[in-house]
Structure 1
Amino acid sequence: MITPTSAALRPLYTAAQVRELDQRTIAAGMEGFALMQRAASSAWHSFRAHWPQARSMTVLCGSGNNGGDGHVLAALAMQSGMKVQRISLKPLDALTGDAARAAELATAAGVGCTTWMPESVLEGDVIVDALLGTGLRDAVRGDYVGAIECINAGSQPVLSIDIPSGLAADSGAVLGLAVHADCTVTFIGDKLGLYTGEAPAYTGEIDFRPLGVKALGYTDIIPSAWRLEEALLPEALPPRRRTAHKGDMGHVLVMAGAPGFGGAGLLASEAALRLGAGKVSLATAAEHVAPALVRCPETMARGVRGAADVEALIAQADVLVVGPGIGQDAWGQAMMQSALAAKAPLVVDADGLNLLASRWPNLRRDDWVLTPHPGEAARLLGCSTHAVQADRPAAARALQQQRGGIVVLKGSGTLIAGPQGLMVCPFGNPGMASGGMGDVLSGMLGALIAQRHDIEQATWLGTLTHALAADRGAKARGERGLLASDLAFYARELINP
């Protein structure tokens, strides 16, 4: 049984939670400025690890503690013999608190400073973004807009302190505009918003530095989410018993492929077989049976015309996958209605989700997995796709609360919302922007549910395997041209660690 405290799950926090961890660390005896110095020292080590040949840096400092980290980093760089250009968005004599103290430290170390001007030229080999921290709530405004635009217009690599300026720490949304970083060094508690929404296009590599703070030691501060790690697969998928047989591995029924849409069912069925299901049946339009058997004869394909033809198949199955390629007319409605009447767990995708939104708007179950992309999630929630993407964690939680079961909100930084909380899958790549990827995911989920009988944890594992398989495929031959059918080969390797 996997628990959220597993070493293969990394805790993620909101900005407010990290501020609370910061305050408790200070209350326990560490001075706030000492913690700032520790953060700057970690940032300096991260800088050196990523750009060992750099001989100069430009540090842009905001008016708060994020800027304070930048001032101390500038002092450390100067003391190491590096040429440092320091630009402040606020006059130094107007700073207060630890930020003022940090600026004085940099000045005492011999670091010059200029106040930001629209005509400022960024001269360093590497740019350090210490403008806006995790407290940003509204759109970037004022001089910060010009400073971020200047950073993004430059050709130099960028290190962001704690979070790329302009990125929302809790949702990964861009608040007007944000810094495109090559590396983000983040402190104390890893942030949920660094891994979903628009964040992966802005963070670059994420370098988490806890600064000696053991966040999980504060048991009353429950992580906002957990990040799935590849190490979860060997932990959760040990070798099979030597006496195992196909009856132990579950029976998946894929209900997919209305007339003219046969590929979806083939992809889902083959993925279920490659993920180790003992038996896979495919209920599809009669015209797709022959192609299914040619492509994958291990699939037990059956042509069905309506609900009466599928009843016996449903009775034999341990889990149903319904929705890929079923359409929304009479055939698809019959498949969906039959699936909903079944006692077995369901994986619902594609037009199955659209039918739920239009014909079963209030239906709730505890034994299903819903796998919407943002557009489908918007239809289920009765809102816009933009609203879903503006706060993906909130959308995933809201959909799970309304519909029950497990919700997989697909997209960059896929989110899994269920009774055990919110999980984030940080893997995957733009090569997955092609048809059939969701069909393959549905088949994988069905196979793992059939084998594990724990719907939530099987969903974690299936989502993780799907994304990692895509990453292996992209690494082997590139992102462009990656096909959904490519994933099964790499997924099989992953589930046999």
Structure 2
Amino acid sequence: MPQSPDNLPTALYSAAQVRELDARLIAAGTPGFELMSRAAHAIWRALRRRWPAAGALTVLAGRGNNAGDGYLVAALAQRAGWQVQVLAVGESAQLQGDAALARDEALACGVPVQPWSECSVLQGVVLDALLGTGLQGAVREPYAQAIRLLNASGLPVLAVDIPSGLCADTGQVLGVAVRVQLTVTLIGLKLGLFTGAAPDWVGELQFDDLRADPDLLALQACVAQRLAGATVPRLPTRPATVHKGQLGHVLVVAGDRGFAGAGLLAAGSALRGGAGLVSLATRAEHLSAAQARLPEVMAAGVASANQLRALGQGASVWVVGPGLGQQAWGRSLLSAAALVQVPQVWDADALNLLAEGAVTLPAGTLITPHPGEAARLLGCTAAQVQTDRPAAARALAQRYQAVCVLKGAGTLVAEPGGALLLCDRGHPAMAGAGLGDVLAGLIGALLAQGLPALDAASQGVYLHALAGERLAAQQGSIAAGDLCGVIGQLLGEYTGV
């Protein structure tokens, strides 16, 4: 059966680290060809489960160990009576070591091996065994042309370890990449399978550790951790005698003219996220809407930094920036927030003004940029951020000495000490206005209830993503306000609140 995200390992590795794991397994006594054989059997099992009636297989083989896996899968399919062909992109005679042994086994089984050409005819399921995790730089010819023709074929594709052309460390497409329906990745999960452009190329992801010794795997440090239900930080169960004063007071500073909804979304999320008290500092003309929609929130109209400072004296956490705008009103309120020494969450226009140099980030503030805001904070382009999202998240955490939530597919949570967490949950229906406001309010509520910044960010990101998944399954499209109620349900399920 396909693996659910929470059944996958949590450790994420770089390509170099997985190669080191492979070397350790071999040094500990598992021959390389045995590992290759285990990989081939794992891929063959996954292929038959996904396409049991296909009956035909084309292996596109390169010149590395991925090719060796492909040749052994071809041999298994040949023995099972499938119609099989291997198309060698690059000279198969140049294969060395275990990959050469695998090619010889396929030939001995009667598998036809032919040089690939642009006139080659693909058939059945196509096994992408072209390029592995060691790819450096843009895909070169003839591989690039083979990939383009494969993508145009419309045939189902299974990738060995990683879709060819996808960077195993960043998820960047290196010029061109194979778009697959199923990826079977081996020994260790690669960070690049979960972030950057990867979600559009990897398809369903399955993992096999090739029966590796867990003690050997534990010796290898990882570059990041996946957030999963069993490991995501949680709030403690509330005692029966708890009262609202023990659950924190969140002040949301948001909503210039025309952006009243941003403040309402953040405040509503803070309520559903379990904060004991929630206040909203916004434009005076938004008060009627706030009181009608969120009677539980203490909404106040503020016109100056002095008014905001007075209002915020009792708050334990500030959430600043949703719909704040970049005009005089927003700048004035942000200048007040920059002087407050309580935990804060800065989002949206607070980050744009920070990037502009209008204020200095207070110590202990958590930042939640999307790629465009991250680019402004780093002085680069959004495309550069997306090219290497892990590096961008770490750079932001270091530059601002703050826990950073870099939003997007494969949201990343980084902290200045180097820890990196990744959330691979969520749904494409979450690509809409206001969902970032909801996330900021939720993280603020978790901070208010006593979670450290890294834990609050991690739990907030994870619950926000699960809420989107649940809503998308129920109703298809999502409006940001819909998430708040579902977040409240999930908070009880995952924390005991």
How would you bin the TM-score normalised by the shorter chain? over 0.9
Pick the aligned partner of 1:272 from 256, 263, 270.
270
What are structure 1's unaligned runs of at least 5 residues? 1-5
Residue equivalent to 2:3: none
1:448 aligned partner, one-letter code: L
Residue equivalent to 2:389: 392
Pick the aligned partner of 2:420 from 414, 419, 422.
422
Residue 238 of structure 1 deviates from its aligned partner by: 5.0
Is the CA contact (8 Å cut-off) linking 1:8 and 1:228 kept in structure 2? Answer: no
Matched, 1:493 2:489: yes
Give the TM-score normalised by the residue count of structure 1.
Answer: 0.95
Matched, 1:128 2:113: no
1:82/1:365 Cα in 2 relative to 1: closer, same or farther (>3 Å)? Answer: farther
Residue 127 of structure 1 deviates from its aligned partner by: 1.2
Point out the more displaced range, 449-458 or 91-100: 91-100
1:72/1:7 Cα in 2 relative to 1: closer, same or farther (>3 Å)? Answer: closer
Matched, 1:407 2:368: no
Mapping of 1:205-284 within 5 angstroms?
205-214=204-213, 217-218=216-217, 221-232=220-231, 236-284=234-282
Once residues 405 and 459 of structure 2 are traced to their aligned partners in structure 1, the CA distance between those partners, rounded to angstroms, is 12
Mapping of 1:296-311 within 5 angstroms?
296-311=294-309
Deviations 1:27-69 (A, max 9, x none): 1111111111111111111112222222111111111111111
Once residues 231 and 51 of structure 1 are traced to their aligned partners in structure 2, the CA distance between those partners, rounded to angstroms, is 32
Is the CA contact (8 Å cut-off) linking 1:8 and 1:231 kept in structure 2? Answer: no
**Count of aligned residue pairs for this structure pair:** 487
Residue equivalent to 1:51: 51
Give the TM-score normalised by the residue count of structure 2.
Answer: 0.95
Residue 230 of structure 1 deviates from its aligned partner by: 2.9
Is the CA contact (8 Å cut-off) linking 1:348 and 1:371 kept in structure 2? Answer: yes
What are structure 2's unaligned runs of at least 5 residues? 1-5
The alignment's C-alpha RMSD in Å is 1.7
Residue equivalent to 1:170: 169
Matched, 1:325 2:337: no
Once residues 495 and 232 of structure 1 are traced to their aligned partners in structure 2, the CA distance between those partners, rounded to angstroms, is 15
Matched, 1:484 2:480: yes
1:412/1:364 Cα in 2 relative to 1: closer, same or farther (>3 Å)? Answer: same
Deviations 1:170-196 (A, max 9, x none): 000000111111111001110000000
Residue 409 of structure 1 deviates from its aligned partner by: 0.6
Point out the more displaced range, 213-222 or 91-100: 213-222
1:49/1:193 Cα in 2 relative to 1: closer, same or farther (>3 Å)? Answer: same
Matched, 1:72 2:76: no
Once residues 21 and 214 of structure 2 are traced to their aligned partners in structure 1, the CA distance between those partners, rounded to angstroms, is 7
Residue 151 of structure 1 deviates from its aligned partner by: 1.7
Once residues 295 and 177 of structure 1 are traced to their aligned partners in structure 2, the CA distance between those partners, rounded to angstroms, is 49
Pick the aligned partner of 1:371 from 353, 364, 368.
368
Point out the more displaced range, 88-97 or 220-229: 88-97
Once residues 365 and 70 of structure 1 are traced to their aligned partners in structure 2, the CA distance between those partners, rounded to angstroms, is 54
Give the secondary structure class of the aligned counterpart of 1:168. coil
Is the CA contact (8 Å cut-off) linking 2:40 and 2:70 kept in structure 1? Answer: yes
Residue 231 of structure 1 deviates from its aligned partner by: 3.3
1:272 aligned partner, one-letter code: A
Residue equivalent to 1:445: 443
Once residues 113 and 245 of structure 1 are traced to their aligned partners in structure 2, the CA distance between those partners, rounded to angstroms, is 73
Give the secondary structure class of the aligned counterpart of 1:186. strand
Once residues 7 and 88 of structure 2 are traced to their aligned partners in structure 1, the CA distance between those partners, rounded to angstroms, is 40
Give the secondary structure class of the aligned counterpart of 2:399. helix
Deviations 1:433-458 (A, max 9, x none): 21111101100110111113311101
Residue equivalent to 2:154: 155
Residue 379 of structure 1 deviates from its aligned partner by: 0.6
Matched, 1:42 2:39: no
Once residues 386 and 144 of structure 1 are traced to their aligned partners in structure 2, the CA distance between those partners, rounded to angstroms, is 25
Matched, 1:112 2:112: yes
Pick the aligned partner of 1:334 from 332, 335, 345.
332
Deviations 1:257-278 (A, max 9, x none): 1122111000000011011111
Is the CA contact (8 Å cut-off) linking 2:354 and 2:361 kept in structure 1? Answer: no
Once residues 453 and 425 of structure 1 are traced to their aligned partners in structure 2, the CA distance between those partners, rounded to angstroms, is 18
